[in-house]
Amino acid sequence: MYRWWVFVHLAGVFGFLLAHGVSVGVAFRLRVERNPERVSGLLQLSAASIRVFYASFGVLLLGGVVAGFIGHWWSEGWIWAAIAILVVTSIAMYAMARPFFQRVGLVARAMAGGSKAVSDEQFDSILRSRRPITIAVVGFVGLIAILYLMMFKPILGFGSVQRPPVVAAGSVAVSASGLAFDTSTLTGPAGRPFDLVFDNEDAGVLHNVAIYTNSAATTPLFRGSYVKGRATQTYHVSSLPAGTYFFRCDIHPATMTGTFVVK
């Protein structure tokens, strides 16, 4: 479910960039275009993309907000920073772009209509404005900053450092931290398969969880694949008969051990 909402969010982002690319292209093309009618045409092209732009912006927001709730991201700094950057960047770009494009459009339409109120030199100086470059730089920097926040999710001083895995009812959870399991006894259900959620909190360190018949560890009942921290892996353990077994990390068999009770 979470992935689908991230999918919706990213689909919105693609639509957003696709539609806005039209306006970006127009803004840069204006700098070299001096024919008033073609300038008007370019502005109409830009205006025509604005509906798709706002629609995809809505999809982007919807996907992001819902994914934020499902992923429990709202308690972390990065998502708020990303929203703040989105709002500030949008307002700044709008405030810079709107008067510029209105002015260009007004003058271009007047000149195309035969008005001589604005000379070619004045028209040239309006179109040569560096404003489109400034707007594009602001937008690009804002997007890169948001992309960084999305990818690396820095907590920025508040929020949970650890994201505890969501453990479904009926499954067994164990975590490893500081080269030790968080418990010396695990209990699983007898006679049916169950999930064993393993959260390896040791950054860059390999651990696993393996269940053996006894502490001699010669007969494995289940051997989980190695997990490089920090990461969470859900193992699917096949049905085991009731009994008292032994579990360990195969990489640290001397220190990371415990009793696995199946009942």
Minimum CB separation from Cu ion for residue 213, in Å? 20
Instruction: State which of residues 207, 211, 233, 248 lies at the interface with Cu ion (CB under 5 A).
Output: 207
Distance of alpha carbon 111 from alpha carbon 185, whole angstroms: 83
Q: Counting contacts by CB under 5 A, is residue 227 touching Cu ion?
A: no
Nearer to Cu ion, 49 or 215 (CB): 215
Using the Cα atoms of residue 20, residue 26, residue 27 and residue 28 in order, give the sign of their dihedral. positive
- The DSSP output letter for 226 is P
Strand partners, 194: 237
Contact residues for 146 (Cβ-Cβ < 8 A; gap 6+): 82, 85, 86
Nearer to Cu ion, 107 or 249 (CB): 249
Q: Counting contacts by CB under 5 A, is residue 210 touching Cu ion?
A: no
Nearer to Cu ion, 18 or 179 (CB): 179
Segment contacting Cu ion (CB under 5 A): 15-23, 30-38, 135-143, 250-258? 250-258
Minimum CB separation from Cu ion for residue 238, in Å? 23
Nearer to Cu ion, 157 or 178 (CB): 178
Q: Counting contacts by CB under 5 A, is residue 249 touching Cu ion?
A: yes
Q: Counting contacts by CB under 5 A, is residue 251 touching Cu ion?
A: yes
Strand order through the sheet with 194-200: 172-176, 194-200, 231-237
- Asked if residue 250 lies in contact with residue 241, where contact means CB atoms within 8 angstroms, the answer is no
Length of the chain: 263
Instruction: State which of residues 252, 257, 259, 261 lies at the interface with Cu ion (CB under 5 A).
Output: 252
Segment contacting Cu ion (CB under 5 A): 147-155, 158-166, 183-191, 244-252? 244-252
CA distances for 84 relative to 26, 37, 90, 146, angstroms: 27, 39, 10, 10
Mark out the alpha helices in 113-220 (DSSP H runs): 120-127, 131-152
Per-residue binder mask for Cu ion (CB under 5 A), 121-160, x = binder: ----------------------------------------
Nearer to Cu ion, 161 or 254 (CB): 254
CA distances for 129 relative to 5, 26, 89, 90, 109, angstroms: 41, 14, 20, 20, 18
Q: Counting contacts by CB under 5 A, is residue 228 touching Cu ion?
A: no
**Contact residues for Cu ion (CB under 5 A)?**
207, 249, 251-252, 256
